[in-house]
Structure 1
Amino acid sequence: MKFRTPTDYEKECYTYVLKGQIVVCASMFPNGTKEPGYYEDRSFGIRLVLVVPAKPEYNYRNRGSLTFEMITLVPIQTKMINTELLTQKERDWLNEYHRQCREITGAELQRQGRKAALDWLVRETQPI
């Protein structure tokens, strides 16, 4: 299946959503802060990120800090991004995320002998 080329407006919208995701994933907060997501008792819960220990430059009152880590390691579609709207810090985050996709997901695809999928992954996670 071939997808059409995104419009400038679609790329702008996608890029602003990505920028918000990057801000959330790059944030740090003190230990003891409640878990992110949506939960309904005895029904279901939704989480897109894990809460993991962070290593901030300053450790206020020795409390420790937490940050977010993506649960899935699936490439973010760079053809949907207007790279002119990204800061260098956001570009760095995206490139690091894609490096992790290649390293972790790529290793599993290689282990399974899925060369076509691995080739796709490498192609879709090139640095911007």
Structure 2
Amino acid sequence: ELDVVDTLSHCRAAHASYRGDSFGTIAGYGAHGAIVHYEPTPESNATLRPEGLLLVDTGGQYLYGTTDITRTISLGNPTDDERHDFTLVLKGHIALARAVFPEGTRGAQLDVLARQYLWQEGKTYLHGTGHGVGFFLNVHEGPQSIRLQENPVALRPGMVTSDEPGLYLSDRYGIRCENLVLTVGAGDTEHGRFLKFEVLSLFPFDRNLLDFSILTDDEIMWLNDYHRKVWSELADYLQGAPLRWLEQACAPISR
């Protein structure tokens, strides 16, 4: 786990605009992934093996912005339960990312979009779904949030917020899917002004963890559109093995 932390920091340090991590990297393998705010230490440092799930929540401070992203990765031979639970979480992530809502909407009014598929199976998570992200501050910031608890601050154009539903099974594994999203205008109608989210984070979701039996055609289309954007934005910065990996990770998904 600590090798993952060190590798991410080393890669970031290669950028001239890097000014440090935006928070301590969470790299939780297996049961450690079920500890929501886990950070590996020399005492807890788990050895990664070609099986199970690795949850990585990480971010950096750059002169051009602050990042925060979480991906859950299969290290090999995912089980049916792991694929099913990952896909439930991802479905909620997509539902929130696709939301269109009237001006004045608060985060608590959108939170259920990310939890609905988990709730249908008697599952949930106990942290907020979204927090504000500023620039060179504390990453987890207000004034806006997306969570069950009421927050009177409405989502407004220009706000950057996380979209990060999850699921945590004690002593088994943890799952979280997080991108940062920007609130933007979606157009005006006779009923007023509407808003939506523009996804900012660019990194593929692990296709090996998809349970196609519970994915809809619209959700697959969203994933393909997202991966097409990731490829178009990042391909020119890569070459060799990393470029080939990205091409495979962003290839169109079909049933």
TM-score (norm 2): 0.42
Change (3 A) 1:22 1:44: closer
Structure 2 Cα separation of the partners of residues 43 and 99 of structure 1:
31
Query: Retained in 2: the 8 A contact 1:52–1:69?
Result: yes
1:49 aligned partner:
181
How has the CA–CA distance of structure 1 residues 91 and 43 changed in structure 2, closer, same or farther, with 3 Å as cutoff?
A: closer
Gaps of 5+ in 1: none
Q: Which amino acid aligns with 1:59?
A: T
Are residues 34 and 107 of structure 1, via their aligned partners in 2, closer, same or farther at CA, if it must alter by over 3 Å?
A: farther
Instruction: Give matches, 1:1-20, under 5 Å.
Output: 2=50, 3-20=75-92
Name the amino acid aligned to 1:78.
R
* Cα 1:65/1:124, change in 2 over 3 Å: same
The answer on whether the counterparts of 1:30 and 1:66 sit within 8 Å (CA) in structure 2 is: yes
In 1: Cα distance, 2:215 partner to 2:228 partner: 18
* C-alpha RMSD over aligned residues: 2.6
Higher strand share: 2
Aligned match of 1:76: 205
What's the CA shift for 1:66?
Answer: 1.3
Aligned match of 2:31: none
Aligned pair count reads 120
Name the structure where helix makes up a greater proportion of residues.
Answer: 1
What are the within-5 Å matches in structure 2 for residues 29-108 of structure 1? 29-34=101-106, 37-38=130-131, 43-45=138-140, 47=162, 48-55=180-187, 59-61=189-191, 63-108=192-237
Identical pairs, percent: 34
Change beyond 3 A, Cα 1:15–1:54: same
Name which of 97, 122, 125 aligns with 1:25. 97
Residue 70 of structure 1 aligns with an amino acid whose one-letter code is: V
* Native 8 Å contact 1:37 1:45 kept in 2: no
Any unmatched runs of 5+ in structure 2?
1-48, 51-74, 108-128, 142-161, 163-179
TM-score by length of 1: 0.79
